[in-house]
Amino acid sequence: MRLTNYFLPLLKEAPKDADVISHQLMLRAGMVKQSSSGIYIWLPMGLAVLKKIEQIIREEQSKAGALEMLMPTIQTADIWKKSGRYEDYGKEMLRIVDRHDREMLYGPTNEEQITDLVSSFIKSYKNIPKIFFHIQWKFRDEIRPRFGVMRCREFLMKDAYSFDISESEGKRSYNKMFISYLKIFKKMELNAIPMKAESGPIGGNMSHEFIILAKTGESRVFIDKTLLRLEVPDDVNYNENLSEIVDKWTAPFAVTEDMYNEDEFHKNVTINNRVEEKGIEVGHVFFFGDKYTKPMNATIQNKEGKVIPLQCGSYGIGVSRLVAAIIEAHHDDKGIVWPKSVSPFDISLINLKPSNADVNNICNRIYENLEKNRYHTIYDDTDSSIGEKFSRMDLIGIPIQIIVGPNSIKEGKIEIKDRKTDLRKFVKISEIFNEFPLKD
Ligand code: ATP
Ligand code: MG
């Protein structure tokens, strides 16, 4: 993508009301624009990151056996009346009346909708286990939207729902999602720690929030430092017993403020291993049994012919919140430093002097070759000043910068800079393509 053809409306300074770094950087880097309170327009570069994140989630959820579908954003109030949540949900739910005076709502979550769907198709133990997921916009009329896309009103969520015959089978689905989450966040270079969360009437160890440590987080968290050193398994066979892995991750002490008890923290964690920090919730896994299937009559026949309610869990990831959370974890004083896996472009190519024919020719050749070899490249072909070009590319944080100017090409060389480490190397013009072979 040539920068002259792109849309990258950068801001010199972030507005005063943007008080967390991710919000400031997202605005300065032209990723989003507020449309109204808590509602954002995703500009091309912001959307590119959102799509990368979506794709990582999609691939990992599919590997764990979850099936993608897409449920609508607008739901009928009837199903929420059935589950009993229509009144309970309160003012966070955006309620709508259609032209026929039917009560509708903009979905804040989809337990009712999926349960209603499943109840009309899944009737026998032979049809389960099943895990469905979708990636869809949600609306929650948050009382105080803040921190940009971190806590907004319209946001993109991945939500999955599991359906099993028994609590023990449900635990298997829970474990699959738990491990899939570990892998998803690792791919984004996030250290997301599962922390025990309120599990409601079911009790047990079946609700965890995945939280990344960040000074700007909204929840206070208390964890055992050993969790920061645990390895996420690379190859997982989701058909095997996954309890061992999950147990390893859930054994050390890790709770949010709501679940905190000082005596327990001190009893369970040695003084040197105690970490008290703030965190950002990026995901939540939750097993709740027949909470919705019972009132909504989503039953199946078991092997003995007995009709019983399905046992369910739900599993959310804040896809749009993750864009901000990744920036919180990956930035420096010059701007964003994208992990490769979610970067909106693979490479940034900086033409320091487009008015110089040699520089221009070399840049064009490099650009065409990179694109041919499937490196998605943002090519600064503008006539901005050199200083502006450097600070712009540092701000938008593409992992690799290729810098081409008249001085270096006179010596037959091109500079390659690593955005994160600032390490620079010079390679011969004739060898530049060896650096970037065809991507698979
Ligand atoms: P929170 O405690 O942050 O309000 P929640 O417990 O209400 O979140 P869930 O219902 O578990 O959230 O939703 C799943 C995920 O969706 C959360 O882990 C979070 O990452 C994301 N999310 C929830 N609310 C918002 C919001 N207002 N803006 C952006 N992302 C959100
Ligand atoms: Mg939650």
Residue ending a domain, among 296, 316, 336, is 336
The one-letter amino acid at 411: E
Residues 139 and 250 in one domain: yes
Residues ≥6 apart with Cβ < 8 Å to 144: 151
Q: Is residue 341 part of a domain?
A: no
Domain count of the fold of the chain:
2
In tens, the pLDDT along 122-139 reads 999 999 999 999 999 999
pTM: 0.97
d(CA 143, CA 37): 10
pLDDT of residue 238: 97
Q: Is residue 319 part of a domain?
A: yes
Ligand with minimal distance to 195 CA: 2
Q: Is residue 199 part of a domain?
A: yes
Residues 282 and 416 in one domain: no
Contact 320, 151 (CB under 8 A): no
Shortest-distance Cα residue to atom 22 of ligand 1: 318
Residues 318 and 357 in one domain: no
Residues 362 and 331 in one domain: no
pLDDT of residue 440: 81
Q: Is residue 342 part of a domain?
A: no
First CA to last CA distance, the chain: 20
Shortest-distance Cα residue to atom 3 of ligand 1: 281
pLDDT of residue 200: 65
Residue ending a domain, among 336, 363, 383, is 336
Residues 214 and 296 in one domain: yes
Q: How far away, in angstroms, is 284 Cα from ligand 2 center?
A: 5
Residue ending a domain, among 310, 336, 362, is 336
pLDDT of residue 371: 96
Shortest-distance Cα residue to atom 26 of ligand 1: 151
Residues 134 and 204 in one domain: yes
Question: Which residues contact ligand 1 via a Cβ below 6 A?
Answer: 109, 140, 142, 151-152, 155, 157, 281-284, 316, 318, 320-321
Shortest-distance Cα residue to atom 31 of ligand 1: 318
Q: How far away, in angstroms, is 377 Cα from ligand 2 center?
A: 37
Q: How far away, in angstroms, is 403 Cα from ligand 1 center?
A: 41
Shortest-distance Cα residue to atom 25 of ligand 1: 151
The one-letter amino acid at 309: P
pLDDT of residue 199: 72
Shortest-distance Cα residue to atom 16 of ligand 1: 318
Q: Is residue 412 part of a domain?
A: yes
Mean per-residue pLDDT of the chain: 96
Q: Is residue 166 part of a domain?
A: yes
Residues 420 and 303 in one domain: no
**Among candidates 425, 352, 325, 360, which has minimal Cα distance to 21?**
325
pLDDT of residue 129: 97
pLDDT of residue 204: 62
181: CATH: 3.30.930.10
Q: In a structure prediction context, what are the per-residue pLDDT tens digits for the chain, which is 440 residues long?
A: 999 999 999 999 988 989 899 999 999 999 999 999 999 999 999 999 999 999 999 999 999 999 999 999 999 999 999 999 999 999 999 999 999 999 999 999 999 999 999 999 999 999 999 999 999 999 999 999 999 999 999 999 999 999 999 999 999 999 999 999 999 999 999 999 999 988 765 556 699 999 999 998 998 999 999 999 999 998 899 999 999 999 999 999 999 998 999 999 999 999 999 999 999 999 999 999 999 999 999 999 999 999 999 999 999 999 999 999 999 999 999 999 999 999 999 999 999 999 999 999 999 999 999 999 999 999 999 999 999 999 999 999 999 999 999 999 999 999 999 999 999 999 999 899 899 999 88
Q: Is residue 440 part of a domain?
A: no
377: CATH: 3.40.50.800
Q: How far away, in angstroms, is 54 Cα from ligand 2 center?
A: 19
Residues 17 and 53 in one domain: yes
Q: What angle do CA 420, 425, 427 make, to 5 degrees?
A: 135
Question: Of all atoms in ligand 1, which is nearest to the CA of residue 282?
Answer: 20
What is the residue range of 256's domain?
A: 3-336
Shortest-distance Cα residue to atom 21 of ligand 1: 318
Residues 364 and 327 in one domain: no
Question: Of all atoms in ligand 1, which is nearest to the CA of residue 218?
Answer: 3
Which of 37, 220, 281 to mutate for ligand 1's pocket (most ligand atoms within 8 Å of CB)?
281
Which of 157, 178, 285 to mutate for ligand 1's pocket (most ligand atoms within 8 Å of CB)?
157
Question: Of all atoms in ligand 1, which is nearest to the CA of residue 109?
Answer: 10
Residues 280 and 414 in one domain: no
Q: Is residue 281 part of a domain?
A: yes
pLDDT of residue 137: 98
d(CA 213, CA 227): 12
Residues 387 and 253 in one domain: no
Residues 34 and 77 in one domain: yes
Residue 203 burial by Cβ neighbours in a 10 Å radius (0-12, 13-18, 19+): exposed
